[in-house]
Amino acid sequence: MKKSSPGAHIIKKDLKKFPKIPNVTNYEEAYKNFSWEKAEKEYIDFFPDGTMNAAYNMIDRHVEKGKGKKTALLFESATGEKEKYTYEDLRRESNKFANVLESQDVEKGDRVFIFLPSIPERYIAFIGILKVGAIAGTLFSAFQEAALLDRLADSKAKILITNAVLFPRIQKIWKDLPHLEKVIVVERGSLNQPEEKNLVFYNKEMEKASEKFEIVHLSKDDFSYMLYTSGTTGKPKGVVHAHGDVLQALVTTRDVLDVHDDDIYWCTADLGWVTGVVYGALGPWALGATQVLFEGRFSPENWYKVLEENKVTVWYTAPTAIRMLMGSEVKPKDYALSSLRHLCSVGEPLNPEAIWWSLEAFGLPFHDTWWQTEQGSITIPNYPIMDIKPGSMGKPLPGIIAAIIDDKGNEIPQGEEGHLALKASTVQSLMKQIWGNEEKFKSYFVGDWPAGHSLGDAWYISGDKAYKDEDGYFWFIGRADDVIKTSGERVGPFEVESSLVECEEVVEAGVIGKPDELRGEIIKAFVVLKPGIEGTAELIEKLKLHVKKHLAGHAYPREIEFIDKLPKTRSGKIMRRVLKAKELGLPIGDTSTLEDY
C-alpha cells in the first residue's frame, strides 16, 4: 500500500518568528549548494603538513585562536558540586593525560577503554587518547562483567581507565584479559584505593605530567574511537570511527542542533553511547560551544533543575526521557525554563504526542533526528527551519544522499516501504570497519562495493524499514531485524539469551522487543526450563537479577514467560519473529522454514 504523510498536523515554521536566526535559513537551498569539500575547508584545521587530529579541532585550536577562556564544560556532580572547565583547562588536562598515556607506552592504534561515570575525567581521558593517536573505547558504567569481558577481549584493550567503585568488576575478569596491561584509577570522591598489581593512579600521574604535549599527526582515516553495538546474532560488534568524522559532527551540531557561539547546550546522552561521543564531545567542542554535563540520575526534578540553573538554550535528548517527563507529576511550568530555544531528539521513534506535549510545556517542538552508531553523525533530521510533520524523522542532511531501496539495491517508488539506505560515499563519518570482522562490515553494503579503498557507488543499508513521502520526508516503520531498542538503548537478543542460559535452571531462551508506551520496547524473554523445574515468581526474579548483575543493568528482561519449546528453523535457529507475532497476536507469516512447533 502506498503511504503518504498524515497531512493535517504540520507544524509550520516562519523565519520571522525565530528568536535567533537559525544557522540554516533555507533547507532546499542548503541541500542544493552544499559540498563536503567546501565545508571541510571552512571548518577543519589541518596541520601545515596536511595531517590532522580531531582532538586538536575540538580543543587546542580554539585556545590558539583566543578562545581559551571560554567555558567548554559546566559540570554538576551526582552530589551537587559544580565545576567549570574552560577550553584552556581542557587543553591542559588532556595534554597531561596524553603524557600519562605515553608514559605507559601507549602508541598510535592501541585500544584504550574508558569505564567511568559521567565526570570530567571521562572526557579529559577521551581527548587525551585522541591526542596520542590511540583508539578510545567508551563503556557504559552500567556494564557488568560479561559485557565488559566481551568488549575488552575482542578489542584487545591495552589500558582501561576506571574508578574505585567500578574497578571490582574489572578485577573479576582481568585474568581473562591477557592484553590488558594497566588499569588507571581515577580517585575523585573515592576513599578506598584498590590494591592490585599494574594499577596506575590518575591524580598522582597527572600531578607529575607535563602540560605540554605534541599532538600526534594523523590522517582523516586514522581511527579515533570505537563503540560496541548490538546486532541480531552473535556478540556485540566493534564499530570503528576515524578522526575525519569531526567534520560531519561539527556541521550537524551547527546546522541541525543549531548551536550558536553564545548557547548553553546540553546533550543528555552518556559517553558510552554514540550520541554521547558525537554530540556530548566531538561536535559541540569542535564548534567551540559551551556544554553542560550532569552526573546525577534522571528524574524530572533533577533535569528541570539542570535546565533552569544552567539556563540551557539547546537541548538534545531521547524519546523515553521525554515520555517520562510527560507522564510525571512534576511540571515544567514550575521551573524557569524560558532560556530554552531549540529542542532535538534521537534514538527511537519520537511519537507525535511528545511533540504536541513539548509545544505546550516549553512552547517549542522537539525536532526528531535519525542516525546510527555506524553512521557516526546525524544523517536524516528535522532542520530548525523545516516544517515539522510530527512522526517523521525529517529529510536528508545536505551532502547526504538517502533513499528507500529494495533487497537488490534498486530505489523503490515514493510512498512504498523498503530499506532505508544512504549512499555510503556521501556519509563523511561512516564507520571505517567492524573490528576484526570484514565480512560483517561488507554485509552492510549493497551495490558497487568495494572499489579498492573507496566506497564506490555502494548503498549503506541501515537495517531500518522506512518510506519517503510526497515532500521528501522520511518515516520510520521499524527494524528489519530482531535488534531491540529499549529506552533508546540498542540491545541484541542473543546477548540476553546467552546470559539467561548461564542460569542452571534454563535450557534455552528466546528474546524479543515487546512494544511499550514508555520505553519504546521492553525486553521479553521466553524461557524453556529443565525438566522438573517449576517456573515460579521467585525464579523469574532470580533470572532477571542474573542478567542485571552479569550482563548490564539496562539489558534485563522486564517480562519472562516460561514455555515448553521455542520455535526454530529446521537448522535450529530461534525464530524470534514467531515469538513476537504470537506475543502481539499477529499472523505468524511464512513458516516454511519452521520446524514443527
Beta pairing, strands 82-86 & 71-76: antiparallel
Of 69-77, 129-137, 426-434, 459-467: span binding ligand PRX (CB under 6 A)? 459-467
Nearer to ligand PRX, 15 or 518 (CB): 518
Alpha carbon separation from 139 to 21, 150, 551 (Å, rounded):
37, 12, 13
Contact between 391 and ligand PRX per CB under 6 A: no
Query: What backbone torsions phi and psi does residue 69 show, to the nearest 5 degrees?
Result: -85, -5
CB 320 within 8 A of CB 348: yes
Contact between 370 and ligand PRX per CB under 6 A: yes
d(CA 392, CA 469): 9
Beta pairing, strands 135-138 & 366-370: unpaired
Write out the binding residues for ligand PRX, residues 124-153 only, by CB under 6 A.
none
Contact between 348 and ligand PRX per CB under 6 A: yes
Contact between 347 and ligand PRX per CB under 6 A: yes
Closest residue to ligand PRX, judged by C-beta, is 373
Q: Provide the β-strand partners of residue 482.
A: none
With H, G, I as helix, E, B as strand and everything else as coil, classify residue 30: helix
d(CA 98, CA 106): 9
CB 271 within 8 A of CB 280: yes
Write out the binding residues for ligand PRX, residues 219-248 only, by CB under 6 A.
229
d(CA 136, CA 122): 11
Nearer to ligand PRX, 216 or 343 (CB): 343
Contact between 460 and ligand PRX per CB under 6 A: no
Nearer to ligand PRX, 94 or 372 (CB): 372
Nearer to ligand PRX, 138 or 462 (CB): 462
Instruction: Spell out the long-range contacts of 490-494 with Cβ–Cβ below 8 A and sequence spacing 24 or more.
Output: 490/229, 490/230, 490/373, 491/230, 491/523, 491/554, 491/555, 492/230, 492/231, 492/232, 492/233, 492/234, 492/236, 493/232, 493/576, 494/232, 494/233, 494/234, 494/235
CB 306 within 8 A of CB 339: no
Query: Which residues in 89-108 are b (16+ Cβ under 10 Å) and which e?
Result: bbbbbbbbbbbbbbebebee
Shortest distance in whole angstroms from residue 155 CB to ligand PRX? 18
Of 142-150, 303-311, 367-375, 382-390: span binding ligand PRX (CB under 6 A)? 367-375
d(CA 310, CA 71): 12
Which residues have C-beta within 8 Å of that of residue 24, sequence separation ≥ 6? 30, 255, 258, 383, 384, 385, 398
Which position among 215, 240, 293, 346 is part of the footprint of ligand PRX (CB under 6 A)? 346
Contact between 490 and ligand PRX per CB under 6 A: yes
Shortest distance in whole angstroms from residue 463 CB to ligand PRX? 6
Shortest distance in whole angstroms from residue 432 CB to ligand PRX? 16
Contact between 393 and ligand PRX per CB under 6 A: yes
Maximum Cα–Cα distance across the chain: 73
Of 15-23, 37-45, 363-371, 452-460: span binding ligand PRX (CB under 6 A)? 363-371
Which position among 155, 252, 268, 275 is part of the footprint of ligand PRX (CB under 6 A)? 275
d(CA 542, CA 412): 48
Which position among 152, 209, 216, 274 is part of the footprint of ligand PRX (CB under 6 A)? 274
Nearer to ligand PRX, 250 or 543 (CB): 250
Contact between 421 and ligand PRX per CB under 6 A: no
Shortest distance in whole angstroms from residue 377 CB to ligand PRX? 9
The reply to whether omega before 381 is within 30° of 0 (cis) is: no
Shortest distance in whole angstroms from residue 549 CB to ligand PRX? 23
Write out the binding residues for ligand PRX, residues 13-52 only, by CB under 6 A.
none
Number of residues that bind ligand PRX (CB under 6 A): 22
Of 73-81, 95-103, 297-305, 462-470: span binding ligand PRX (CB under 6 A)? 462-470
Which position among 349, 390, 409, 567 is part of the footprint of ligand PRX (CB under 6 A)? 349
Task: Name the residue with cell 597531561.
Answer: 96
Which position among 93, 222, 258, 368 is part of the footprint of ligand PRX (CB under 6 A)? 368
Shortest distance in whole angstroms from residue 422 CB to ligand PRX? 12
> Which positions lie near ligand PRX, rule CB under 6 A?
229, 274-275, 346-350, 368-373, 393, 462-464, 476, 479, 485, 490
